Structure 1
């Protein structure tokens, strides 16, 4: 054998091993009263199937289905993204599921989820909120999050730090993180909704001028099993979902954003006019008790990259809530590598306390913190209880509760 052929032969096993992508997932995402979206990453041309049944049910009524490979995958990676929907589920019910790849059912591909109650009905549930995840930091707070047994998980940005609009590089970062055992377990056990911020949308503090943002958006839609995003006329990562009679408006603070450096005048936009109209119409038409606006950008605590330097956009939102007497609005933000809950100093413009829950730094920050909200709309005066939980080896809770009557224009 010639030296060249020998070298090629010796390198073949290594190259072949490198070409076989690792598996990532499963993830449960958009979960409704009667269906749930399932996501998986596996080698190309794999046959991915799933089975599921309600807790306590006989295995004889186990249901099965196939995961569908995306035919127009935005990222150029060796493996394949698979997505599908589990249908025919019962509301407010816990299910166990198992994914199989080419006939193999690994325990690592097993998970659970709890379906939502029927939209508009009174409910009590717990959600966890995170942002700012870093692969090279301590991951222990994910275990604390699981101990809280949330019904759903919302992450509001910096789900990785690729700092590019290249969907291939972005997906590689997503996959690397989803193979961390602590985070992987959360994604398997807790339905997760995701919104990007700057580092997983494009470069640091990036905005609507970012080159290649349309490719970033295409990749993002495939990387997360979110509800359908944007509208037929307005692209973006923004979407709405409901849990009983709590509505969530998850807004995209990057795709249509004006550059931070522009003068802070009435031409500067955080969401863009079309997305703002989508948000306002959603708030006005919502019959939910609580209406939650969530985004990666914070209202006040960033002096260089948040709503604080978008005065027109901030005031337009606050004034519209007051003008249209929209009750029960709260705000969720991330980005700052710390967590807190506070009342905005411009709440007079809203007509009641504008509460912001900032949850950030679950793996990127000294506190390793995250937040939970317990909603209870079954009581006469519905409540939202907010706790901040830190990951310094012990749990320290900051516990505050608001009643719906406190977040209302009635009698004012």
Structure 2
């Protein structure tokens, strides 16, 4: 058993503290116990949990992971317990979870929220409310999790550097996300989960150019440093399956009036660059932000993209079956989540992506194979 001493929390940062767990062994299960006390030594709450570490680049065995995006408090489907989708994801015994952004909705008008977070205190209220619900807490007590932010959990809809809403400034939004979500040095990261899978989580807000900037080589959502890091890390990887987790679409297709992601016409230059690189390196894209489910294949490059859809049936929408294109392999205007299963089948490595409805039932699946 290992333990820390008593560690101070920061009252100016919502009484939080992030603690790095070091020297963990690969493919090992750990139990965790967190105790609290007042400054005067009065005993407080105790939280317990468990997790299993990644397999690492040398080990191969079957596992599943789950992916979610877009959870709005007014559209929750289990009252103060939270969201039924978390129990249905937990039933798959996932090795890890990725939240692709819009974890909370600070803005009321554009996103169906019920409280405008126009101060840092109200922004924290949004986090405390969601992450105090029983279903969400139970899930995260058992599943290693990665978080990416998008616009609604930074400041407001389609937010870019410098944006503010009332007293909630851009810098405050960035700081609160790092305060509330477990995070290392950077908000863009890569993990080699197993011999078979490596994935990349990218940052889509911190470094972006304005949406209305003329398109060209200097216009970027990722920024030069992150883009160079991504290409360098991908080229160094020998994982059979590579996944890009992006908070916004790279392939789409999107609606014609949208201007905030790489599938939109005003981001063609960098979008083409990233799609071409993903195609050359067999990268599968999993996107957040969309309130509908889809699997699409880019006409120009053949890059595949999946979207999980929003967390509840009430939250689903924003697209229509009438907008289906030949790029869509699957399209459904429903809520739900996405799972991926890595396994060996008939002498081949196989990655199977599945779209699930909110109740956990499978709506669609698609498999990729690689020679062992």
Residue 226 (structure 1) aligned with residue 183 (structure 2): yes
Query: Larger % of helix: which?
Result: 1
| Counterpart for residue 397 of structure 1 | 363
| 2:128 counterpart SS class | helix
Count the aligned residue pairs. 323
| Counterpart for residue 104 of structure 2 | 160
Larger Rg: 1
Residue 140 (structure 1) aligned with residue 84 (structure 2): yes
TM-score (norm 1): 0.71
| Counterpart for residue 27 of structure 2 | 92
- Give the 3 Å change call, closer, same or farther, for CA 340–120 of structure 1 in structure 2: farther
- Give the 3 Å change call, closer, same or farther, for CA 267–106 of structure 1 in structure 2: closer
Deviations 1:312-345 (A, max 9, x none): 11111123345xx42x311111111122223222
CA distance in structure 2 between the aligned counterparts of 1:127 and 1:67, rounded to whole angstroms: 34
Residue 192 (structure 1) aligned with residue 130 (structure 2): no
Give unpaired runs (5+ residues) of structure 1.
1-61, 230-236, 348-352, 406-412
Q: C-alpha displacement at 1:297, in angstroms?
A: 0.5
- Give the 3 Å change call, closer, same or farther, for CA 402–69 of structure 1 in structure 2: farther
Which is worse superposed, 82-91 or 142-151?
A: 82-91
CA distance in structure 2 between the aligned counterparts of 1:69 and 1:360, rounded to whole angstroms: 39
Residue 180 (structure 1) aligned with residue 133 (structure 2): yes
Give unpaired runs (5+ residues) of structure 2.
78-82, 108-116, 317-333
CA distance in structure 1 between the aligned counterparts of 2:118 and 2:201, rounded to whole angstroms: 21
Could you tell me which of 17, 28, 45 is aligned with 1:82? 17
- Give the 3 Å change call, closer, same or farther, for CA 106–221 of structure 1 in structure 2: closer
CA distance in structure 2 between the aligned counterparts of 1:320 and 1:354, rounded to whole angstroms: 9
User: For the Cα contact (< 8 Å) 1:207–1:259, is it kept in 2?
Assistant: yes
CA distance in structure 1 between the aligned counterparts of 2:172 and 2:19, rounded to whole angstroms: 22
Residues 174-323 of structure 1: pairs in structure 2 closer than 5 A: 174-211=127-164, 212-229=169-186, 237-245=187-195, 246-299=197-250, 300-303=252-255, 304=258, 305-309=260-264, 310-321=267-278
Q: C-alpha displacement at 1:104, in angstroms?
A: 5.4
Residues 37-56 of structure 1: pairs in structure 2 closer than 5 A: none
User: For the Cα contact (< 8 Å) 1:66–1:84, is it kept in 2?
Assistant: no
CA distance in structure 2 between the aligned counterparts of 1:378 and 1:213, rounded to whole angstroms: 48
User: For the Cα contact (< 8 Å) 2:190–2:200, is it kept in 1?
Assistant: yes
User: For the Cα contact (< 8 Å) 2:29–2:52, is it kept in 1?
Assistant: yes
TM-score (norm 2): 0.78
Q: C-alpha displacement at 1:74, in angstroms?
A: 6.0
Q: Flag as ranges the 4+ runs of structure 1 deviating above 4 A.
A: 103-107, 164-167, 377-380
